């Protein structure tokens, strides 16, 4: 089931618009889109290991720019767009708790959540709602998202062929695990 999608992403990694598509997904994921860019980063780096760090850079920059939009949604548009997104992800009860935690642990929350499968848009919007220090927010987003994407790129660049063979042999398992991580991230946020 996932083979056709995987093969398509590998082919698209060589397309002249591949980096733009990755940037769009990465930007959107940090502010409103539910699918993390890792779904594109991993096959793109596997297909183009020579461009691993360029792919990580594009993904990081776009993610930080998207995080700024997420912050703006929380800061300026809480009563309209922000409320819609909060309701969409069933976060009405969690936003108040999140704001309280920001008073004490804001920097740690941004750094840790940016590395996890928990949807980053929730962190960016909550940062805006909590009026977290914006320049510090941008720095922390750059650190955490850069770490996430550059670690993935470095590991795949270094161990690409064996990793590619391992993933391709167990493609369905990895695809289902990836989907489970995404759903688990949303459930963890909604119910914990």
Position of tokens 């997420």?
Answer: 70
Pairwise CA distance, residues 174 & 5, whole Å: 13
Residue 105 phi, psi dihedral angles, 5° rounding:
-120, 25
Could you give the count of Cα atoms lying within 13 Å of 114 in the half-sphere of its Cβ?
32
Residue 16 phi, psi dihedral angles, 5° rounding:
-65, -20
pTM over 0.85: no
Which token pair is 44? 């793109």
Which token pair is 178? 């990836």
Please answer whether residues 171 and 2 qualify as being in contact, where contact means their C-beta atoms are separated by less than 8 angstroms: yes
* Ordered alpha helix ranges (H), 30-133: 38-47, 52-76, 83-88, 92-113, 120-129
Which of 23-27, 50-54, 183-187 tops mean pLDDT?
Answer: 50-54
- Spell out the residues 6+ positions from residue 181 whose beta carbon is closer than 8 angstroms to its own: 117
pLDDT tens readout for residues 28-69: 889 887 777 887 888 888 888 899 999 999 999 999 999 999
Please answer whether residues 23 and 62 qualify as being in contact, where contact means their C-beta atoms are separated by less than 8 angstroms: yes
Pairwise CA distance, residues 92 & 129, whole Å: 13
pLDDT tens readout for residues 87-131: 777 777 776 776 777 878 889 989 988 887 677 888 898 899 888
pLDDT tens readout for residues 143-176: 999 999 999 899 889 887 777 676 666 656 666 6
Pairwise CA distance, residues 180 & 40, whole Å: 17
Which token pair is 190? 């909604």
């Amino acid at each position: 089931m996932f083979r056709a999608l995987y093969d398509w992403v590998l082919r698209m990694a060589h397309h002249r618009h591949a980096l733009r598509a990755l940037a769009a997904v990465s930007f959107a994921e940090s502010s409103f889109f539910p699918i993390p860019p890792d779904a594109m980063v991993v096959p793109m780096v596997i297909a183009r290991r020579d461009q691993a760090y360029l792919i990580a850079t594009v993904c990081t920059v776009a993610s930080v720019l998207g995080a700024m939009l997420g912050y703006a949604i929380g800061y300026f548009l809480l009563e309209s767009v922000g409320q819609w997104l909060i309701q969409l992800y069933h976060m009405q009860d969690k936003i108040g708790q999140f704001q309280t935690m920001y008073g004490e642990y804001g920097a740690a929350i941004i750094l840790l959540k940016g590395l996890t499968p928990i949807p980053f848009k929730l962190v960016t919007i909550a940062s805006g709602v909590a009026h977290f220090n914006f320049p510090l927010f941008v720095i922390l987003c750059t650190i955490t998202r850069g770490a996430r994407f550059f670690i993935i790129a470095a590991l795949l660049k270094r161990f690409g062929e064996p990793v590619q063979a391992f993933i391709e042999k167990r493609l369905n398992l990895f695809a289902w695990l990836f989907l489970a991580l995404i759903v688990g991230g949303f459930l963890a946020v909604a119910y914990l």
